Amino acid sequence: MIGTGLRAFFALAIAIGFGFVGPAQAGATFDKVKQAGTLVCGVNPGLAGFGQPDNQGNYKGLDIDVCKAIAAALFGDPGKVKYVPLTAQQRFTALQSGEIDILSRNTTWTLQRDTELGLNFGPVVYYDGQGFIAPKKLNVKSAKELNGATICVQPGTTTELNLADYFRANKMTFKPLVIEKLDEVVAAYFSGRCDVYTTDRSGLASTRIARAQNPDDHVILPEVISKEPLAPVVRQGDDQWNDVVRWVVYALIEAEEVGITAKNIDEKLKSEDPGIKRMLGVTPGTGKSLGLDDKWAYNAIKAVGNYGEIFERHVGKDSPLKLDRGINALWTQGGLMYAVPIR
Amino acid sequence: MADIEHELGRELPVPAARPRPRTHGPIGWLRANLFSSLFNTFLTLIALCLLAVTIPPIIRWGLVDAVWSAPDGLACRGADGQEAGACWAFVGDKLRFILFGRFPYDEQWRPLLVVAIFVGLIVASCDRRLWGRRLVGLWLAGFVAVGVLMWGGVLGLTYVDTSLWSGLPLTLILAVVGMLFAFPLGILLALGRRSELPAVRAVCVAYIELVRGVPLITVLFMASVMLPLFLPSGLTIDKLLRAQVAFILFAAAYLAEVVRGGLQAIPQGQIEAADALGLGYWRRTRLIVLPQALAMVIPPLVNTFIGTFKDTSLVIIIGLFDLLGTVNAALADANWQGFYVEAYVFAAAIYFGFCFFMSRYSLMLEREFNQSRQH
């Protein structure tokens, strides 16, 4: 009941929103942020690994580190971020209305959002995708064998639609067991009320680690039935601001590729590699083009580490989620993370 | 003689009367309340059976088998991955976050003091000797103290942005400030609805019907999602303030109808008597009408207050971390997955404490104010 009300209201809010999303003045956001001295960053109220307050109330996570890196690049201080927790319904209006400067909240990049909502997406920071988890004893090797299966799914998100699309495209049938609350849908799966549970693969992995009596008794099927590229988002109309976000993320990815970490970055300042010298500002130039200090990339990497470090710390092997790098590995290791040249 | 003997003889065999059933003492109480008839005995036995079935497992889960300290969620579950008892270690680990949320960790004595001030003010309001100007003064001083403690920026306290206010203090601020502002507004609306001036009446009726016609969640949504779109770019009104105003406006409409019920119950004779004494509209309302009307509607008033208190949990949908918001955020921790029952039981206990207090307070007020009508 609440869900449909919210959705109708959201649609209305967006419709009205169009009128207000004209092309903003060039540089408006960039200047505003520089002047304010704080980055206002829209984040998830609580999603393990991506954005979540710890016991002391400090936000931690992969999306959070993107905000910290940008603040470090702008001000030389990763602490100059104001986090605004946003629900899924609020997030785009908060960005459109100028309440936040950047949205770093596990948001999927789609055509409709990029165009109709008047937004611009930065580089993808996590490639997610919807998958299935099944008990090993079912002996299912592929999602193609799931014809007639009972499938646990949460309503209201694209997850439910992707599921229906996939089964229709493969001419299979399924019985959906639709449960609103994450806790209950997971409990339903583990108690055997459904054969398979579907959600984003990062969610499946964390559920398997944290809730399964024995994680090895469950397999995540190889099929990825949707593409969920998660990226930071800014308003359209301020290209300079968009550039800052874009290049800070690229610097984090590039740093991993050339082996710069938060720890060894000061040694790397002495490196003879012209690429590293350019990126870290030893050879000046890149900062001026972005309207930042030449130390922008140095400050960002020093604050949060390179992309690989961020990944392992929050969602990878050093975190409770224990996700594999998978397609989020560098392009040199068969993944999709590829930074365009910083020069 | 024979007649007398005959009569005596008739009286002699009177059997000793059975003792009247005991009506006091524990056994008497049991007999009177639980076993007074066959049907009641039957109900009592059924209830006892239900309690016997449900209570022991709850105690075993919540106390006997409970885990009171553990480094993370896995340690709370046994080797088979099943939770044997409640994992209170989770609540313990997250206690400060659940209560105070994102308020700077080293400064959390400030919201703690705020909660203490609120509880102190509420308890002080129960003391009849303080009623009157002194209580108003006490509340004003309390509000100033709460503001100073939460915002800081003066007296050497560091400034804390409202976006970091969270947990129990936020819930209390939203509820208490909401009620205190909504109450006078509600009275004005109720008076306005019964006004003889058509314009005033129309505005009040339209307002009340409009606000009562939409769910609170849409009012909050309007305040947090729609409002910023109508404001010039760059101008943002504090999110907490928006939610607080939405609460006040919403609660006022409901209170107005409760108060109107009381107003309608005042006999016309009272008003005529006040007129005969030469009292004007405002003095008549303040001295004669409202005291009687409000005393009559204490139960529904407190009902609305309790509802408002619990409605504060809806701010979760606009991204404010009230008590339930911090509980939900705590539940997202990957180290402690799946301890929903423990977290919600803890939150429920806090909500129950406040709501139960309010309902007892309402009973006390009813006794105080309605003595004149008890015979």
**Which tens digit of pLDDT belongs to each residue from B28-39?**
888 777 788 888
Q: What is the pLDDT of residue B3?
A: 53
Residue A334 has pLDDT above 80, yes or no: yes
Give the mean pLDDT of A64-72: 96
Q: What is the pLDDT of residue A120?
A: 94
Burial readout A133-158 (b: 16 or more C-beta within 10 A, e: otherwise): bbbeeeebeebeebeebbbbbbeeee
B180 and B236 inside one domain: yes
B168 and B316 inside one domain: yes
Cα distance between residue A216 and residue A209, in whole Å = 9
A46 contacts chain B (CB < 8 A): yes
Q: What is the DSSP string of B288-336?
A: IIHHHHHHHTHHHHHHHHHHHHHHGGGGGGGT--BHHHHHHHHHT-GGG
Cα distance between residue B67 and residue B73, in whole Å = 10
Residue among B292, B327, B311 nearest B249 (CA): B311
The confidence band for A156, taking pLDDT boundaries of 50, 70 and 90, is: low
Q: What is the pLDDT of residue A305?
A: 94
Q: What is the pLDDT of residue B7?
A: 53
The confidence band for B288, taking pLDDT boundaries of 50, 70 and 90, is: confident
B350 and B203 inside one domain: yes
Calculate how close chain A gets to B316, using CA atoms only, in Å: 8
Contact B329 A99 (CB under 8 A): no
Give the mean pLDDT of A85-92: 83
Comparing alpha-carbon positions, the chain B residue that sits nearest to A60 is B333
Q: What is the pLDDT of residue B351?
A: 92
B48 and B97 inside one domain: no
Tokens linked to A230: 């998660």
- Does the residue B148 lie in any domain? no
Round the average pLDDT of chain B to a whole number and report it.
83
Calculate how close chain B gets to A58, using CA atoms only, in Å: 7
CB proximity under 8 Å: A 235-294 to B: none
A199-253 confidence digits (pLDDT tens) = 888 888 878 876 777 777 888 888 889 988 999 999 998 899 999 999 999 999 9
Q: What is the pLDDT of residue A6?
A: 47
Residue among B287, B284, B286, B259 nearest B272 (CA): B284
B284 and B333 inside one domain: yes
The confidence band for B319, taking pLDDT boundaries of 50, 70 and 90, is: confident
- Does the residue B191 lie in any domain? yes
The CB-based long-range contact list for B338-346 (8 Å cut-off, 24+ gap) reads B338/A183, B338/A186, B338/A210, B338/A211, B338/B73, B339/B73, B339/B76, B339/B87, B339/B90, B340/A183, B341/B86, B342/B86, B342/B87, B342/B88, B342/B90, B342/B91, B343/B90, B343/B91, B343/B94, B343/B98, B345/B62, B345/B86, B346/B91, B346/B98
A32 contacts on B by Cβ (under 8 Å): 234
B43 and B172 inside one domain: no
CB proximity under 8 Å: A 125-184 to B: 183
Q: What is the pLDDT of residue B375?
A: 47
Q: Under a CB-based contact definition with an 8 Å cutoff, are residues B325 and B316 in contact?
A: yes
Tokens linked to B22: 């005991």
Provide the β-strand partners of residue B67: B87
The alpha carbon of A286 is separated from its chain's Cα centroid by a whole number of angstroms, namely: 26
Q: Are strands A130-135 and A196-200 parallel, antiparallel or unpaired?
A: antiparallel
Calculate how close chain A gets to B212, using CA atoms only, in Å: 16
Q: For chain A, how far is it from start to end, CA to CA, in angstroms?
A: 53
> What range defines the domain where residue B269 resides?
88-103+160-373
B125: phi then psi, degrees, rounded to nearest 5: -65, -15
pLDDT over 70 percentage in chain B: 90
Cα distance between residue B168 and residue B116, in whole Å = 11
Amino acid at A162: N
The class level of CATH for A2-127+230-333 reads: alpha beta
B212 and B342 inside one domain: yes
A262-309 confidence digits (pLDDT tens) = 999 999 999 999 999 999 999 988 898 899 999 999 999 999 999 999
Which CATH superfamily is A130-226 part of?
Periplasmic binding protein-like II (3.40.190.10)
Contact B93 A55 (CB under 8 A): yes
Cα distance between residue A39 and residue A299, in whole Å = 15
B58 and B93 inside one domain: no
Residue A50 is classified by DSSP as T
B60 and B166 inside one domain: no
Total of domains in chain B: 2
Tokens linked to A177: 């067991």
Same fold for the pair A2-127+230-333 and A130-226:
yes
Comparing alpha-carbon positions, the chain A residue that sits nearest to B95 is A55
Cα distance between residue A40 and residue A84, in whole Å = 7
B337 contacts on A by Cβ (under 8 Å): 48, 206-207, 210-211
B54 and B93 inside one domain: no
B334-357 confidence digits (pLDDT tens) = 778 778 888 899 999 999 999 998
Calculate how close chain A gets to B311, using CA atoms only, in Å: 14
Torsion angle of the four alpha carbons B327, B329, B332, B334, in this order, in degrees rounded to the nearest 10: -100
Calculate how close chain A gets to B94, using CA atoms only, in Å: 6
Residues with Cβ within 8 Å of residue B114, at least 6 apart in sequence: B145, B146, B149, B150, B169, B172, B173
A53 contacts on B by Cβ (under 8 Å): 97, 101-102, 329
The confidence band for B22, taking pLDDT boundaries of 50, 70 and 90, is: low
Residue B8 has pLDDT above 70, yes or no: no
Contact B102 A319 (CB under 8 A): no
Cα distance between residue A148 and residue B169, in whole Å = 51
Calculate how close chain A gets to B229, using CA atoms only, in Å: 5
Q: Degrees (nearest 5) of the Cα angle B343, B347, B348?
A: 115
Provide the β-strand partners of residue A81: A39
Q: What is the pLDDT of residue A2?
A: 40
Q: What is the pLDDT of residue B234?
A: 61
Residue B41 has pLDDT above 80, yes or no: yes
Contact B221 A47 (CB under 8 A): no
Q: What CATH code is carried by the domain that includes residue B251?
A: 1.10.3720.10
Closest CB from B101, B164, B319 relative to A87: B319
Q: What are the extents of the domains in chain A? A: 2-127+230-333, 130-226
Q: What is the pLDDT of residue B189?
A: 93
B125-174 confidence digits (pLDDT tens) = 877 777 778 888 888 888 888 888 888 878 778 888 888 888 899 999 99
Contact B80 A213 (CB under 8 A): yes
Calculate how close chain A gets to B66, using CA atoms only, in Å: 19
Q: What is the number of CB-based contacts under 8 A between chain A and chain B?
A: 132
Contact B101 A53 (CB under 8 A): yes
Closest CB from B72, B225, B236 relative to A89: B225
The confidence band for B79, taking pLDDT boundaries of 50, 70 and 90, is: low
- Does the residue B124 lie in any domain? no
Q: What is the pLDDT of residue B108?
A: 86
Round the average pLDDT of chain A to a whole number and report it.
86
- Does the residue B143 lie in any domain? no
Q: Under a CB-based contact definition with an 8 Å cutoff, are residues A84 and A41 in contact?
A: yes
Q: Chain B interface, mutation test: which of A7, A12, A21, A56, most B Cβ atoms within 10 Å? A: A56
Contact A9 B225 (CB under 8 A): yes
Q: What is the pLDDT of residue B151?
A: 86
Contact A55 B319 (CB under 8 A): no
Residue B315 has pLDDT above 90, yes or no: no
Q: For chain B, how far is it from start to end, CA to CA, in angstroms?
A: 56
pLDDT over 90 percentage in chain A: 52
Tokens linked to A105: 């909240």
Q: What is the pLDDT of residue A22?
A: 42
Residue B81 has pLDDT above 70, yes or no: no
Q: What is the pLDDT of residue B12?
A: 56
Give the mean pLDDT of A148-164: 86
A16 contacts on B by Cβ (under 8 Å): 226, 229
A165-204 confidence digits (pLDDT tens) = 999 999 999 999 998 777 788 888 988 899 999 988 888 8
A43: phi then psi, degrees, rounded to nearest 5: -135, 170
Residues with Cβ within 8 Å of residue B20, at least 6 apart in sequence: none
The confidence band for B4, taking pLDDT boundaries of 50, 70 and 90, is: low
Residue A125 is classified by DSSP as S
B98 and B41 inside one domain: no
Provide the β-strand partners of residue A43: A85
- Does the residue B139 lie in any domain? no
**Order of strands, edge to edge, in the sheet holding A39-43?**
A81-85, A39-43, A102-103, A233-235, A119-121
A34 contacts chain B (CB < 8 A): no
B202 and B327 inside one domain: yes
